[in-house]
Amino acid sequence: MNPNIWRIVLDIGTIVLVAGGIGALAWRWLRKSVAPSKLVFKWIISAGLIFWLVRIVPKFPDSMLLLVSVPFGVALGLMWAPSFATALAGLITNSIDGGDVPQDAQPFYSAAETKRRNGHVPEAIALVRKELEKFPGDFAGVMLLATILVEDMNDLPGAQIALERWMAGPAATPQGKASALTAMADWHLQFAQDPEAARVALERIVQELPNTPVAHQAAQRLAHLPTVEHLMAARTGAPVNLRPGEKDIGLRKDYTGPAAPASPDLGALADEYVTQLEKYPADTATREKLAVLYAEHYHRLDLAADQLEQLIGFPNETPRHAVEWLNLLADLQIRCGKDLAGAEATLRRIIEQFPNPALAEPAIARLASLQGEMRGGHAAQVKTMGVYEKDLGLKKARG
């Protein structure tokens, strides 16, 4: 092949590569510019000045070269000096701090929240939806949309649909599902006075996220959901009916003072606790009350310890709660069992199992004062358990 053809092909390839490189740099420069139109204008003026200096100035006589070239060179320098100074400063600072790391694009809901605070709810919803079009899996945006729908538009079904769509999508996370279902339960109680719908939402947490702290928290709420009557009374402020008192007390010569309140039926209370635990084994509040009742009323420290050990053994309970129950066991061992050695062993369990200073140091300090607690206690009056009461400890529901 003719060498001239190879030279032409090589020249064309070089021109294409150089032009492509310059074009790529110019495009990147244009995208990063805060004022693209101003940058393009500077390029056009610069191209004209360079053309003047390269093609027109050489045609002048040597005596006029300085006169016709210096002003245009100065103008070109003044035009680009700030940009070159910024680039040079960037190189120096990047060598020190590692350079600028481009941040990932993020949704912004501040404008929507401002519209909502100012009472422009439809505009706020439109702004949230606009951000969600760009970031469809953003849970914060979906949650904000659902909150506005239920709290400002009284549209609980719409809020529930928004959360259900997110939970069915690929961006759903276990923690996000728990937050969404918890919010739905709260809204059903607060806005619809519908404990049954709230129960369904909480049961979904227990079923879909088993053996997790959020499932354990949901189980606690399930055990103490209010009734419709309680919700309506709290909302309407219904008056509480009181039993009428005795009349003409001041005229009665045989009046000796107000009657002592009737003693609670502790046997019925124990039956109520056991029934509740059979239905909701993870109800920690009720199990704790049952343990105290066993120790203080029936003086069955063994049954009380069994209930507390079940609480301590719950897999998703926090260390703080476990330490509280161990301290309660030590209290009962001192007050109801007069068992100093047992209380000391219980406090040492805290020190060994929970070495965190915030949890262990109070137990260390209490070990030194157990003798004083024992001397300040009162002897327990033993109450004989009846035939029915003997079965209370056997009716415990394991968590």
- To the nearest 10 degrees (0 to 180), the angle between helices 195-208 and 213-222 is 150
More confident: 5 or 223 = 223
Is 50 exceeded by the pLDDT of residue 371? yes
Q: Output the pLDDT for position 382.
A: 38
Q: Output the pLDDT for position 218.
A: 93
Query: How far apart, in whole angstroms, are the C-alpha atoms of residue 375 and residue 369?
Result: 10
pTM of the model: 0.61
Q: Output the pLDDT for position 388.
A: 40
CB 376 within 8 Å of CB 359: no
Q: Output the pLDDT for position 17.
A: 77
Query: Looking at residue 383, what DSSP letter applies?
Result: -
DSSP code string of 50-76: HHIIIIIGGGS-HHHHHHHHHHHHHHH
CB 166 within 8 Å of CB 172: yes
Query: CATH class for domain 266-395?
Result: mainly alpha
CB 68 within 8 Å of CB 57: yes
Write the single-letter amino acid at 134: K
**Both tokens of residue 39?**
């940058």
Query: How far apart, in whole angstroms, are the C-alpha atoms of residue 20 and residue 23?
Result: 5
- Mean of the pLDDT values across residues 21-35? 68
Close Cβ partners of 223 (under 8 Å, ≥ 6 residues apart): 276, 279, 280, 282, 283, 285, 286
Residue range 180-204, pLDDT digits in tens: 999 999 999 999 999 999 999 999 9
Q: Output the pLDDT for position 254.
A: 60
**In CATH, which superfamily holds the domain spanning 110-235?**
Tetratricopeptide repeat domain (1.25.40.10)
Assign 233 a pLDDT band (cuts: 50, 70, 90): low
CB 290 within 8 Å of CB 276: no
Q: Output the pLDDT for position 34.
A: 59
DSSP code string of 369-383: THHHHHHH--PPPP-
- Mean of the pLDDT values across residues 384-399? 44
Q: Output the pLDDT for position 216.
A: 92
- Mean of the pLDDT values across residues 3-28? 72
- For the chain, what is the mean pLDDT? 81
Assign 280 a pLDDT band (cuts: 50, 70, 90): very high
Is 50 exceeded by the pLDDT of residue 28? yes
- Mean of the pLDDT values across residues 141-158? 96
Residue range 77-123, pLDDT digits in tens: 777 777 666 666 655 665 555 555 555 678 999 999 999 999 999 99
Largest pairwise CA distance in the chain: 139
Query: How far apart, in whole angstroms, are the C-alpha atoms of residue 170 and residue 263?
Result: 58
Which of helix, strand or coil describes residue 47? helix
More confident: 125 or 53 = 125
- Mean of the pLDDT values across residues 243-257? 60
Q: Where are the beta strands (DSSP E) in the chain?
A: none
Q: Output the pLDDT for position 235.
A: 64
Is 70 exceeded by the pLDDT of residue 138? yes
Contacts 24+ apart (CB under 8 A), 153-158: 153/121, 153/125, 154/191, 156/187, 156/188, 156/191, 156/192
Assign 294 a pLDDT band (cuts: 50, 70, 90): very high
In the chain, residues under CATH classification 1.25.40.10 are 110-235, 266-395
Percent residues over pLDDT 70 in the chain: 70
Assign 40 a pLDDT band (cuts: 50, 70, 90): confident
Q: Output the pLDDT for position 329.
A: 95
- Mean of the pLDDT values across residues 211-219? 92
Query: How far apart, in whole angstroms, are the C-alpha atoms of residue 106 and residue 104?
Result: 6
Residue range 68-79, pLDDT digits in tens: 667 766 776 777
Q: Output the pLDDT for position 87.
A: 60
Residue range 335-346, pLDDT digits in tens: 998 999 999 999
Write the single-letter amino acid at 52: W
Which string of b and e fits 314-353 if b means at least 16 CB within 10 Å? beebeeeebbbbbbbbbbbbbbbbebeebbbebbebbeee
Q: Output the pLDDT for position 142.
A: 96
Query: Looking at residue 213, what DSSP letter applies?
Result: H
Percent residues over pLDDT 90 in the chain: 50
Q: Which of 12-26, 127-141, 240-254 has the highest mean pLDDT?
A: 127-141
